[in-house]
């Protein structure tokens, strides 16, 4: 039976797991991403984790047929390289991800494949999660940032320059304060992410109230306790999220929408205004569009990364270590 190792390489932590041909995580572990130490240090640590987990697989009598990586940054899935990345991972831009990891593992190049981490997340949900059995699905994740992926016939649509899925970076009428568009982390202004991400909800609460709060969770707690500024900040972020997803649905016409990220798990206070705004934005023909929370949690990107090997490129090369 085929097995693969899936890697979810993010800005703060990297998850590595053994995934079966049925899309089930048999074993996984997490290591910190050495995001200040440069690409070589990150790849060294990732390779060491893969070697360790492949030994565990060997002890179970499992053969590993390749390694899939879902990585932060703009990923060229053909060349397996990082074409662009923020400073969340220092020195990550330009990394020849698949080539360098394959060399560290002593594997042939086709045995290692890569995609963006949100695309990997969407692939996992489309394979064995909330969008299983669909021919098209739109996943949008709302958390520290806002990202998405449109999966069509089992493959994400990366775009000509591989930046497809940056759904936090188009204009939102909610991303305005005192008549001025809010600054976005991308350098633009008035974008969805500037009002709908977790940090944006925190910033909006601070603007409205002039009061401190530790993080977005604290804002939600204050809103639950009846704080009006906190409630307004949460509703604005949720409504902006829903309107954005509704507009994207009008453009892409997915079979199903999957909402993911930390905010999707924040409860009715966020979900209800989000879905209300989403459905208000839809064209009449899309009234019955299914909208569902993601099901796989942190395992989604590991499963999706492994699917690059298990579904696309079986028997691509065996782990020898």
Handedness of CA 163, 168, 172, 176 (dihedral sign): negative
Residues in the chain: 321
Instruction: Answer whether 139's CB lies under 8 Å from 151's CB.
Output: yes
In this prediction, residues 218-235 reach a mean pLDDT of 98
In this prediction, residues 222-226 reach a mean pLDDT of 97
* Per-residue pLDDT at 312: 61
- pLDDT tens digits, residue range 145-172? 999 999 999 999 999 999 999 999 999 9
The share of the chain scoring above pLDDT 70, in percent, equals 97
* Per-residue pLDDT at 93: 97
* Per-residue pLDDT at 311: 87
DSSP, residue by residue, 282-300 = S-GGGTT--EEE-SSTTHH
95 token code pair: 């990394």
* Per-residue pLDDT at 206: 98
Which strand (E) or helix (H) includes residue 162? none
Buried residues in 134-159 as b, exposed as e (16+ CB within 10 A): bebbbbbbbbbbbbbbbbbeebbebe
- DSSP letter, residue 191: B
**133-293 CATH pick, 3.30.70.1280, 3.50.50.60, 3.30.420.40, 3.30.450.20:** 3.30.420.40
Mean pLDDT of the chain: 95
* Per-residue pLDDT at 1: 73
* Per-residue pLDDT at 84: 96
Residue spans of the domains in the chain: they are 3-122+298-310, 133-293
- pLDDT tens digits, residue range 296-306? 999 999 999 99
144 token code pair: 């520290």
- pLDDT tens digits, residue range 13-48? 999 999 999 999 999 999 999 999 999 999 999 999
| Predicted model pTM | 0.94
Check if 3-122+298-310 and 133-293 are the same fold: yes
Instruction: Answer whether 289's CB lies under 8 Å from 6's CB.
Output: no
Which strand (E) or helix (H) includes residue 182? none
Longest dimension (CA), the chain: 63
200 token code pair: 């944006």
* Res. 318: pLDDT tops 70: no
* Res. 316: pLDDT tops 60: no
* Res. 317: pLDDT tops 80: no
CATH 3.30.420.40 fits 3-122+298-310, yes or no: yes
Reference 57, options 30, 32, 29; nearest CA is: 29
Reference 217, options 144, 145, 276; nearest CA is: 144
In this prediction, residues 170-198 reach a mean pLDDT of 97
Give the model's confidence band at 239: pLDDT under 50 very low, under 70 low, under 90 confident, else very high: very high
Instruction: Answer whether 284's CB lies under 8 Å from 7's CB.
Output: no
61 token code pair: 């009598």
321 token code pair: 């270590």
């Amino acid at each position: 039976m085929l097995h693969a190792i899936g890697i979810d390489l993010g800005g703060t932590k990297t998850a590595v797991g053994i995934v079966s041909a049925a899309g089930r995580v048999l074993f996984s572990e997490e290591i910190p991403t050495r995001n200040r130490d440069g690409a070589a240090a990150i790849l060294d640590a990732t390779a060491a984790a893969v070697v360790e987990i492949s030994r565990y697989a060997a002890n179970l009598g499992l053969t590993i047929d390749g390694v899939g990586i879902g990585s932060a940054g703009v990923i060229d899935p053909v060349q397996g390289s990082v074409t662009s990345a923020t400073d969340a991972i220092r020195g990550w831009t330009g990394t020849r991800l698949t080539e360098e990891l394959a060399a560290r593992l002593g594997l042939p190049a086709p045995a290692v494949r890569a995609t963006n981490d949100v695309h990997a997340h969407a692939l996992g949900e489309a394979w064995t999660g909330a969008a299983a059995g669909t021919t098209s699905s739109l996943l949008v994740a709302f958390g520290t940032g806002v990202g998405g992926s449109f999966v069509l016939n089992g493959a994400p649509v990366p775009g000509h320059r591989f930046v497809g899925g940056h759904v936090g970076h188009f204009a939102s009428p909610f991303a305005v304060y005192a008549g001025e568009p809010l600054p976005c982390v991308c350098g633009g202004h008035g974008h969805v992410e500037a009002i709908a991400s977790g940090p944006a909800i925190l910033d909006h609460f601070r603007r409205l109230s002039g009061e401190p709060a530790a993080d977005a969770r604290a804002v939600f707690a204050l809103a639950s306790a009846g704080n009006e500024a906190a409630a307004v900040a949460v509703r604005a972020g949720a409504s902006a999220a829903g309107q954005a997803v509704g507009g994207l649905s009008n453009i892409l016409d997915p079979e199903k929408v999957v909402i993911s990220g930390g905010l999707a798990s924040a409860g009715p206070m966020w979900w209800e205004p989000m879905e209300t705004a989403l459905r208000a934005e839809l064209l009449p023909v899309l009234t019955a569009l299914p909208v569902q929370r993601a099901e796989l949690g942190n395992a989604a990107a590991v499963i999706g990364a492994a699917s690059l090997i298990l579904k696309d490129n079986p028997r691509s090369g065996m782990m020898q270590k």
